[in-house]
Structure 1
Amino acid sequence: MRVNAVWLPPHLFQKLLLPKPPPSVMLTDQQLKALTEKLEEMHEEKGYEARARNANPVRQPEDQLALELTQIINEYILDVVKGKSTQTIYKSGKAAQLSKVIKRTVSTRSSSRLAGTTDVAPTPSTSQAASGSSSSASSSPYCFGLVKVVPHYVMRLTPHKYHQSDDEVNEADAAMFRNDAVKHLKEGRPNWAHQRLFGGFKVSGSQYDPFEDAELSDTQPSAGSREQVRGHLIANAERVFVYQHRTAVYSFFVIGQEFRFFRWDRAGVFVTQKVDYVKNTRTFVEFFLGFAVLDDASQGIDTTVTLLEERSQLYKSMDSLAKGDRKALGMRVLSYGEGDVLPEDIPVETFELPLSSSPEHDHDSSETSGGQSQQAAASGSTIAAIPATTNTVRRPKEGLFVFQYVLDYFASSLENNWPRYQVPIGNDTFLIARPIFETTGLTGRGTRGYVAWHVQSKSFVFLKDAWHPSCKGVEMEGDILQGLNDAGVEHIPTLLCHGQVASQETRVSHYAQYVDTRTNDERKADSRSRNGETSKGKKRTREGEYHHHIRHYAHHRLATKEVCLPLVAFTSSKQLVSLVSDCVEGHADAYKKRRIIHRDISSGNMLILPMFENTDGAVELRVVWKGLLCDWELSKPQAPSNKDEQPERTGTWKYMSVASSGDALHIIDIADELESFFNVILYNAVRYVPHTFEQFTTSFVKEYFDDYKILPSGELTVGTMKVFAITTLGYIPIRGSLGANTMLTFGESPLKQNKALNTLIFALLKRFKARYAVLDYEAKVEPSTAGDESAAAAETSDRQLSSRPTQRPRIEREECGDEEVIIPFGPARPSDATYNDAARLKDHDDVKRLLRRALDQWTWPEFELKSDHLTQAEVVDSPLDCMSVDITSSVSLPGAKAVLT
């Protein structure tokens, strides 16, 4: 696991992030002396290790160390200062003054890096000014607030156990709590919802130090144990962010007789250099008391959010809502299966809505599935669109019902006594508990999605909490959605409200950029490649790629009207294609009306919205499942054709086009997005729809969707199978038991083929293959334009010379025989038909018509047995999944939604 790390000497950590406790709170010299003697006694000839062996039952040495040290911290530090007045309000000083101190005292250690960390010298970053960060105490990296009276804190041990509601089963050695939260604790188990500070303990030795100061080789035996400990700390910090609403998390780590202090946020971690707490007892005390006198906001708690007490009315009302209490809900609960009829007693409203251009039914036999060959079906044809008009739509009156799945989502979020919160967005108030979706990883966007109760409208909505890149030219997702809604774009979420949360921003990102994050082994490999030693095709971890700066983030929330089902809830291959078709319509509408490219087409960003409609002229309204394209945070206006100044590779790796995943400088266009839509269909079909090679699904998913290579230059590139299938074969190969590639086809058996889906896949692949043939040809001939002009000039000169008398004997024409056909040197120009197929991807129209024709005219299986061909053990997210921003940004933690931000 990796995290951007900023090393600070203890005194600078205190200047920037912790105050020195005021004299009224600090221990007296006599108290410090007594504490020092107690610590010396604990470590005398490693007495705690002997006591661990003699304990009944026998303890691990680090457990005994944790037990004794937490008792000392409670008795000699925290109990002594509770209730004392802080008297003085501190500020750490002006940024300009501190930056001079920092530059003198902290060196840039970019020449050597611990595996999994980015060494950053804390020089002020220009991103602070670009993001427009506030100078208030809540956002400035040089200010903090203090409590007036020191609260009563207690340190509790929680080793070798996990909280029952924690799916990740993370363990924490110890944590510090306010005394009034002790009633929520279960003996020996971590409580992620109430802890203020967590800690870890290991016996002495650099092999257990997660952030060793020494310049150590990555390949030495202890590197693995250090990385394991570091991963444990990162996972614990992440758990606190998941359970609580946080801007930052503090922690400490004890290694025998030494300790470190940490401050984690969504951009990385501040780490102190190691301090011997026996020899430097005052510093040890100052760190814990400095944290104890911080107010909630300065401790990293999001003070805009209110943790609900179990006895509060709002807390209890959430239980009533989850149970479907009609009085609490004020609405009926309805089933949501496609085709379910709206009850007659629910009023219906009529609307006149504009009808988007729809494809005319095409009866051309070249793309039908009624027994014609699949190769012929891939050819396509041009079809005129019907002019837009209006359509009369009947829909049930809003606010009178809720679908059962929405209630189920909300009820599940309350399970296992998950903490409940009241969250504001502007003047709107929402009640939430456990997120139904969260991205994996400590750093990055940290996106969490909730089914929330909107207090004002008395309805369930979707609330999204995330940290967005805060820099010039990057719009908040709420602003993007508002623009799309105002333009009347269809098949996208409806924004209710949004806004940046106070002045909450990351602090690690205020510091040095453009650092080398390679391991020592990677540096050696790159050095060898520069000296002529190559390692073509050598696969390395995603983490080996270069990253140059720490991205700056600001906190953002938005709420949308729709609560949806995930795309994976589709029930048939036809329904899957229908849902994707809706999202393509939405993508096309956004491009047509706002010139916006989504840039992160993925299964996770395509949702199912059940809604009532009158279909086929029926009087009653029935449930229809519509596709909704969400998560527009990475979208941008269509870029010009020239290359970006900075490398930018955006999207979720599984679904990215060959062009964008193979070239960091590639500008994403409509054709890339359409290829991503195809990959969404393919992934879900391969995983859930019957096909001929279900037993090889796991290997295929890894080879086609997850594979990647890092070239000796450090450039990330796409795996071989996807490139081969999309650009060369024109069909999907799957590797069988003998290792040979066989064409993948869908259907329950060779005699019961899913002709419609197979035909659609072949038709789309034909277009993609043509596109890459044209791109390849034009890439080869473009640099030779000047050469062609020179050749033309040379040819003219030759013709002039040939008109002059020659000394050579004349050869009679009849002696030459038949004239030889000379093939010009250089790449062959693709055929006109290939150019025409490639041109179909320059806008959405052709693919929209193809999808609509497939749904309206082709024959689909009536009864499909949908099942997951991957077991949960095989569903391992690629380290590149949701590689969601530019390639220059810092990688944090690889994982399922591991955002490259």
Structure 2
Amino acid sequence: MVSPQALHLGHLPPPLHFVRGSHCLLCLRDPYRSLHARAEQGPKSIAGEHQRLSQYRAAAAEDMAHKAIRLEVDEFIDHFFKSRVPPQAFGTPPTQDSDVFDCLAEMKDMKEEDVSRLFVDVVNRLQLAPGLRMSQSEHKPDVCDATQERVDSAFFRSEFCPSDGRPHWADQIVAVEFKRHDTRNDPYTDSEAGTVDADAETRRKVRSQLISYAEKLFEYQHRTALYMFIVIGRTFRITRWDRSGTLVTRRMDYVCNPQVLCDVLWYMSQMTNEALGFDPSAKRVLRGSAYYTMMNKASFNDISDIDHTECVLEKLPEDGCVYKYVREMFRESLQRNWPRYLLEVPTKDGTRSFLVAKPVFQAPGMAGRGTRGYVALDLKTGRFVWLKDAWRAHYELVDQEGSVLETLNRAGVANLPTLICHGDILGQVTETPKWWELKNPRSDSSSPSQPLPLNATQSIANSSGAAPGSSKIGSSMKAKRSASDMERVDYREDCPLRRHKHYRLVVEEVGMELKKFKRGRQLMKVIYDCVVAHRDAVNKTDIMHRDVSGGNILIFPRPVNDPSLGSMHMMRWGGLLVDWELSKPITQQGVSPQARQPERTGTLQFMSVAMLTENSKVVEIADELESFFHVILYNAVRYLASNCTNAGAFIEDFFDTYKEEDGQLFCGDRKETAIKEKGRIILPSNIPLRFNPPIDGFMDTVLKWFKARYTVYTYRTHQLEGHAERSGPSNPVVVPSEESEPATQLWDTSLCDAGASSDPDIDPFLDMEPEELQPAKPTDQEEKIAALVDTHAAFLKRLSMAITAAGWKNDGVKGDNVPPSYKPRRRVGPLRHAGIATVKRRRTGLHTWSPPSDDWEDGLATPTPSRIHTAVI
């Protein structure tokens, strides 16, 4: 392990000698934004990214809709404050005078900033929260904050309390937002009927503002939960935020009942950072410390750093050298005003420590995985690695991504990241879903799970028992990995809140964003490598990726031996297929797939037409191959020369547009027509989309395959649905092996007559559709063509033909074909978590998908294709 003491004394060797690795995995979901991308610039489609903060907040509010749970004030205080004050805390809350807040009694004409100023003055002057101080920040944003957001005030530890009137997001303990004394400014309602979220537009705007502040704090800090006060004139609410949702107290008048608020502030001041929601496995690295200096020195360029561009190599790079782009990414993460951390990750025999600064990737939104990706410095080896921090889905039989990756690595699957270590962090789980269960008891006795008692929920939150800065994480993470690889965690199927568990993963390789490709041929090579990885994962381990998207395909430079160069080598850009957290074992014949979590996720823009139109469909190889096709199409339209004169509009129509009914999403017309019906992509000018001959040949061919697939698929689905209505459920679809014959056994059409009733008085075909509405039976030729996408072989062969074909002249990237000024023409889309309805339901309305921007980052970069959740089978 590199010694920080050696650094402090000036004895550290040059960076070359300790930063020996060139590898780290860049697990971006969005290959279409710059490395400087930020996650707060507004909701974005993948066609247009320059959206306003107000739009982002509106989408974020939809994303958090119905995820707030109301608690009584006493209930909240007893559970989250009073019970979490450490035993060594001195005394009890002092009794305050009944007129302590009388200066705030008359609110009728008082402005918001006046409320803030008077409230802060009372708290600080009377030391109502000893050891903490409030600081106002409603007028000036943080220097490094591109969104210029300003929460009104916050509590800080006294020694870190700022005096410059800025938010200082990295140092806040508890945020406080002030509003004028008006119900229109209250984001929540105390009505017993319906949702806790207030519906009025002005109230929804306030709630979206709070969500953006909570998200900002989770972005800057490493937290398990966040507490925030909402002061509305002479009343207040306390909120608690985690990755599942929000807990909200009833509104209380603190002028009439000052002791309640004063007690809360006193309890808060006595609580440890961990009890206030800080993650004890993440330790701040302060300016001037040895680790801070180590990070600075590791960012310095070294003469031995390797140029990663494709070129002829006179000699192979030495082991341990660093690619230039890797060190550059690490250096760019060391922004002056961004906090640095030492993160601990479980290993088989303890923990391993890594130094990180600003994440290269930050998923947006409060509810969800909250994935962050870092170029990290490994303290054990001195190498750069990629560290992924996320709140994974916490349900029965849901594998850890690292366990899946370990299986794939062991099986020798090529073109994947190499696992270093991974594990759950201190048993940290989201608590909000259990509170939903407590507040919504089931009437029947057959519930798969019973709500935890309050003390059990509390014990989960405090399971580590470690104070901030302690090293207890080592002993807490020594349990065998297999114990948590496939957990049995009961859940309420009717609970609308997803359960999450804190998790970290570290791998060796550093990938570049897919948009960094330089030529069309290079793009096809990268995709080829990832299809090979997908094929080998299926053939060698029976694991299906289930989230093929542009963000999960990365470029990785590799020195290779080129026979045409004799003894010399070539630096070649290959592909990495990453992000296996949504992968799943392939369904075996005769075995019904088990539900592993209440929803299934995928990246909407790259999902197959079939997956977007059928709620319960099992992901098949053909669906994944179609997703690979969509990745090629998107990048070709966006970055290569073509006859498409408006790339932004094309991407919006084909990738971002969907149909919606009752909050359910369906495939958009443009995509469905091209893939399912025509087998051609036609531009608005009524001419086929064209690039260069190799790409055109590939697309024309595989589009015919997909069209044939949907002809067969539609007919067989119709046949099976008719049989199911008469005789019950049929056997599940089975993914064929690469060696099997084309999948005629996938669909047993003879079953269609098996369930007919023998009763002569009942017509088993009474509910059949008119003959003209029934899909035509596929021809033998269509059956044969459709079978080509049942395995990877034909798709890979056609990719290879395109790569080796003539006609690749002038295939270089000319820049981004979507201008910075492009704005989506349709309204901002619905919440990320909208489901997909069944294929039979009527689809109405045309909208543009626009998530609360980036799985979505910056205002000057490209947005992220977002995941949606659908029913799990």
What TM bracket, shorter-length normalisation?
Answer: 0.7 to 0.9
User: Are the counterparts in 2 of residues 652 and 883 from structure 1 also a CA contact under 8 Å?
Assistant: no
Shift of 1:869: 1.6
1:355 aligned residue: none
**Is 1:10 aligned to 2:60, yes or no?**
no
Equivalent positions of 1:185-584 (< 5 A) are: 185=162, 187-214=164-191, 223-324=200-301, 332-341=304-313, 344=315, 348=316, 396-399=317-320, 401-426=321-346, 427-512=351-436, 548-584=495-531
1:774 aligned residue: 712
1:141 aligned residue: none
Shift of 1:701: 1.3
Find the residue that maps to 2:573 and give its secondary structure.
strand
TM-score by length of 1: 0.71
Shift of 1:41: 2.8
Matched AA of 2:381:
S
**Cα distance in 1 between the residues matched to 2:837 and 2:291:** 44
Change (3 A) 1:791 1:216: closer
2:119 to 69, 72, 92: 69
**Cα distance in 2 between the residues matched to 1:667 and 1:245:** 36
Find the residue that maps to 2:425 and give its secondary structure.
strand
2:615 aligned residue: 664
Find the residue that maps to 2:313 and give its secondary structure.
coil
User: Are the counterparts in 2 of residues 572 and 864 from structure 1 also a CA contact under 8 Å?
Assistant: yes
**Cα distance in 2 between the residues matched to 1:161 and 1:201:** 16
**Cα distance in 2 between the residues matched to 1:194 and 1:826:** 64
2:144 aligned residue: 165
Matched AA of 1:335:
D
Change (3 A) 1:229 1:336: same
Structure showing greater relative contact order (alpha-carbon pairs closer than 8 Å, 6 or more residues apart): 2
Note the alpha carbon deviations across 1:340-397, whole angstroms, 9 max, x for none: 525x4xxx5xxxxxxxxxxxxxxxxxxxxxxxxxxxxxxxxxxxxxxxxxxxxxxx44
Report how many residues are paired: 684
User: Are the counterparts in 2 of residues 634 and 885 from structure 1 also a CA contact under 8 Å?
Assistant: no
**Cα distance in 2 between the residues matched to 1:221 and 1:629:** 43
Note the alpha carbon deviations across 1:699-725, whole angstroms, 9 max, x for none: 22122111122235x543111111111
1:380 aligned residue: none
**Is 1:612 aligned to 2:576, yes or no?**
no
User: Are the counterparts in 2 of residues 433 and 450 from structure 1 also a CA contact under 8 Å?
Assistant: yes
Note the alpha carbon deviations across 1:832-889, whole angstroms, 9 max, x for none: 111111000111111111111111234312453422122345477985798699999x
Matched AA of 1:620:
M
Deviates more, 1:669-678 or 1:205-214: 205-214
Shift of 1:649: 4.3
Change (3 A) 1:600 1:880: farther
TM-score by length of 2: 0.73
Find the residue that maps to 1:37 and give its secondary structure.
coil
Change (3 A) 1:548 1:26: closer
Cα RMSD over matched residues?
Answer: 3.3
1:41 aligned residue: 103
Note the alpha carbon deviations across 1:428-463, whole angstroms, 9 max, x for none: 221100000011111110000000111211111101
1:603 to 547, 550, 575: 550
Matched AA of 2:305:
V
1:763 to 688, 701, 708: 701
User: Are the counterparts in 2 of residues 469 and 551 from structure 1 also a CA contact under 8 Å?
Assistant: yes
2:573 aligned residue: 625
2:648 aligned residue: 698
Shift of 1:726: 0.4
Note the alpha carbon deviations across 1:143-176, whole angstroms, 9 max, x for none: xxxxxxxxx2110000032212223332110011
Find the residue that maps to 1:866 and give its secondary structure.
coil
Find the residue that maps to 1:334 and give its secondary structure.
coil
**Cα distance in 2 between the residues matched to 1:153 and 1:699:** 52
Matched AA of 1:711:
E
Runs of 5+ consecutive residues of structure 2 not aligned to the other structure = 1-60, 441-492, 724-749, 760-770, 839-848, 856-865
**Cα distance in 2 between the residues matched to 1:684 and 1:771:** 24
Matched AA of 1:200:
E
Change (3 A) 1:40 1:893: farther
1:176 aligned residue: 155
**Cα distance in 2 between the residues matched to 1:869 and 1:707:** 19
Deviates more, 1:682-691 or 1:824-833: 824-833
2:853 aligned residue: 895
Shift of 1:586: 0.4
Equivalent positions of 1:111-130 (< 5 A) are: none
Matched AA of 2:700:
F
Shift of 1:686: 1.0
Shift of 1:786: 7.7
Shift of 1:780: 2.7
**Cα distance in 2 between the residues matched to 1:174 and 1:507:** 26
Matched AA of 1:41:
C
Matched AA of 1:776:
T
**Cα distance in 2 between the residues matched to 1:553 and 1:76:** 40
1:855 aligned residue: 803
Identity of aligned residues (%): 34
**Cα distance in 2 between the residues matched to 1:606 and 1:677:** 9
**Cα distance in 1 between the residues matched to 2:149 and 2:782:** 55
Equivalent positions of 1:736-815 (< 5 A) are: 736=685, 741-746=686-691, 754-782=692-720, 783=722
1:836 to 775, 781, 784: 784
- Please tell me whether Structure 1 or Structure 2 has the larger radius of gyration of its CA atoms: 1
Note the alpha carbon deviations across 1:261-304, whole angstroms, 9 max, x for none: 11111111111100100111111111111211111211111111
**Is 1:717 aligned to 2:694, yes or no?**
no
**Cα distance in 2 between the residues matched to 1:857 and 1:223:** 60
Change (3 A) 1:6 1:884: closer
Shift of 1:186: 5.8
Shift of 1:623: 1.3
**Cα distance in 2 between the residues matched to 1:7 and 1:829:** 55
Matched AA of 1:677:
F
User: Are the counterparts in 1 of residues 521 and 811 from structure 2 also a CA contact under 8 Å?
Assistant: no
Change (3 A) 1:858 1:770: farther
2:4 aligned residue: none
Change (3 A) 1:463 1:825: closer
1:804 aligned residue: none
**Cα distance in 2 between the residues matched to 1:19 and 1:842:** 59
**Cα distance in 1 between the residues matched to 2:184 and 2:387:** 43
**Cα distance in 1 between the residues matched to 2:814 and 2:594:** 43
User: Are the counterparts in 2 of residues 514 and 548 from structure 1 also a CA contact under 8 Å?
Assistant: no
Change (3 A) 1:677 1:483: same
**Cα distance in 1 between the residues matched to 2:718 and 2:377:** 57
User: Are the counterparts in 1 of residues 528 and 800 from structure 2 also a CA contact under 8 Å?
Assistant: yes
Note the alpha carbon deviations across 1:207-237, whole angstroms, 9 max, x for none: 111112237999x998111111111111111
**Cα distance in 2 between the residues matched to 1:875 and 1:407:** 34
**Cα distance in 2 between the residues matched to 1:37 and 1:574:** 75
